[in-house]
Amino acid sequence: MRPSRILMEADQDLHVVLEDGPAHLVAESPNAPSCTVAATANRRKQMLAARGKVRICANARIVGVVFWDRPHNVTGRAPNAIELHPILDFACFSG
């Protein structure tokens, strides 16, 4: 999928809009130090490293946890409300 937009939310989470033709969904990179206090230290470190790699590019491989979020007004929200949340790894590639 192609990361087409990166939006900073009020809680400092990054919402990455992913598109593949007409299909789209949101991948979320949380503000790991403050909003993931229940996560293990290793998982917080992984989320922080992934957040540092997030960017707009032609193609990307995004590793994350599939998450159903309640319907809410978010740019790029998939019709079925599925998100990747949190992003655990992010890599841009060509081709």
pLDDT tens figures, 25-51: 889 998 866 666 788 888 888 999 999
Residue 61 binned pLDDT confidence (cut-offs 50, 70, 90): very high
Burial class (CB in 10 A: 0-12, 13-18, 19+), 68: exposed
Q: List alpha helices for the chain, DSSP H.
A: 32-35, 41-51
Mean pLDDT of 5-32: 89
Structural domain boundaries, residue 73:
2-93
Going by C-alpha positions, the residue among 56, 50, 59, 19 that lies closest to residue 32 is: 50
Domains contained in the chain, number:
1
pTM of the model: 0.84
Question: Could you tell me whether strands 14-20 and 23-29 are parallel, antiparallel, or unpaired per DSSP bridges?
Answer: antiparallel
Mean pLDDT of 2-12: 90
Q: Residue 28 is part of a domain; what is its CATH number?
A: 2.40.50
